[in-house]
Amino acid sequence: MVSYPAKLNLAQTPTPLHKLERLSAKINGPRIWIKRDDLTGCLTSGNKVRKLEFLLAEAVANGCDTLITSGGVQSNHCRAVAVLGAQLGLRVHLLLRSDIEPAPVGNLLLDQLVGATISHYSQREFKQLDALFSHWQDHYQRQGAKPYSIPTGGSNGTGVWGYIAAAEELKADFARENISPSTLIHATGSGGTQAGLIVGCELNNMSVRVEGFAVCDNAAYFERKVRDDLRQWQQQFAPQIDIEGMQINTNDHYMGPEYGIAGPEVFATVKELAALEGVILDPVYTGKAFHGMLEEIRQGHYDRDSDIVFVHTGGLFGLLAQQDGLNY
């Protein structure tokens, strides 16, 4: 039995797991299942709220009144922090990356709507992100506030717990559906979901390969970042488990031009799944990962007589900011 630290009940869980019947029949390959973490909430939809249940519990327990975090201008994580901060009565300051003046659409519109303070920085300025966090930490402390900094994506030792809990939930899903999936697939950007699923499957004795499809950096980066998060988790919470022996599987062949930019093939996949199954992906995270998974299936990289589970980590609001890519 896994012993968890304190958390706030912020997510609508457990989320459904169901088979994509029509898509599975169409591709004539593995049976594809989808874990609907896009249904963890309305404004908090996606994977980030699972991590934030533990991170914000830590912030509240420490008496913090201000949340500082960072991400791209259409960050799902920043939107979730902004919304949850408003729900909990906490000030939120977002450090957002963008080289152009962003339009108030998608996640950014929601950030503004719920009253977050927003500072925009260029790609070049964002390279000094640690210094930016320190500056705003000092700023709020001088005002007598007590700030709590959350890393990009909520990915650190504490945030890992979110997808350890999700792995336990998945184990119950698999038992209920009487399946033993060969592979558990998800989009990976900051590495926290990947870290949590890897160690969560280990702690729950689940013999499933966890495979992250990168949306930004290469496999070598995720090898370092995920292992660093796992080491931090182990140092903070001291579980007796072999972190160094864990395998970190990252496919970095479907990132597209750059983070946040998808090619027409990704938008085609988004449209196909929406029409076939009524499930909406986004072009930043899940669309790239789902497209990559389908390409790998077409190339014969997965056993046709197996079950594959795709973890839908949300992102609908990001799609609304890139609707031109749908060509309607």
Q: Are residues 266 and 240 in the same domain?
A: yes
**Does residue 310 sit within a domain?**
yes
pLDDT at position 85: 98
Q: Are residues 217 and 112 in the same domain?
A: no
Q: Are residues 121 and 201 in the same domain?
A: no
Per residue of the chain (328 residues), what is the pLDDT tens digit?
Answer: 789 999 999 999 999 999 999 999 999 889 999 999 999 999 999 999 999 999 999 999 999 999 999 999 999 999 999 999 999 999 999 999 998 888 899 999 999 999 999 999 999 999 999 999 999 999 999 999 999 999 999 999 999 999 999 999 999 999 999 999 999 999 999 999 999 999 999 999 999 999 999 999 999 999 999 999 999 999 999 788 999 999 999 999 999 998 989 999 999 999 999 999 999 999 999 999 999 999 999 999 999 999 999 999 999 999 999 999 999 8
Residue 94 CA to residue 109 CA, distance in Å, equals 13
Query: pTM, whole model, 2 decimals?
Result: 0.96
Residues annotated catalytic, as ranges: 75
Q: Are residues 101 and 186 in the same domain?
A: no
Residue 65 CA to residue 191 CA, distance in Å, equals 27
pLDDT at position 223: 97
Q: Are residues 25 and 87 in the same domain?
A: no
Q: Are residues 170 and 239 in the same domain?
A: yes
**Does residue 306 sit within a domain?**
yes
> CA 291, 100, 51 angle in degrees (round to 5)?
50
Q: Which domain holds residue 210?
A: 17-46+157-326
Domains in the chain, number: 2
**Does residue 5 sit within a domain?**
no
**Does residue 257 sit within a domain?**
yes
Q: Are residues 147 and 188 in the same domain?
A: no
CATH code for the domain in which residue 296 is found: 3.40.50.1100
Answer with the one of 126, 154, 182 that is the final residue of a domain. 154
pLDDT at position 129: 97
Q: In terms of Cα–Cα distance, which of 110, 120, 102, 104 is closest to 85?
A: 110
Answer with the one of 154, 175, 203 that is the final residue of a domain. 154
pLDDT at position 1: 73
pLDDT at position 239: 81
Answer with the one of 124, 154, 184 that is the final residue of a domain. 154
Strand arrangement, sheet containing 66-72: 117-121, 91-97, 66-72, 147-150
Q: Are residues 270 and 318 in the same domain?
A: yes
Q: Are residues 179 and 292 in the same domain?
A: yes
Q: Are residues 303 and 180 in the same domain?
A: yes
Residue 221 CA to residue 191 CA, distance in Å, equals 9
- Helices H, strands E: what count in the chain? 12, 10
pLDDT at position 238: 78
**Does residue 28 sit within a domain?**
yes
Q: Are residues 274 and 292 in the same domain?
A: yes
pLDDT at position 99: 86
**Does residue 211 sit within a domain?**
yes
Residue 140 one-letter amino acid: Y
**Does residue 12 sit within a domain?**
no
pLDDT at position 100: 83
pLDDT at position 29: 86
Q: In terms of Cα–Cα distance, which of 308, 208, 315 is closest to 260?
A: 315
**Does residue 3 sit within a domain?**
no
Q: Are residues 64 and 23 in the same domain?
A: no
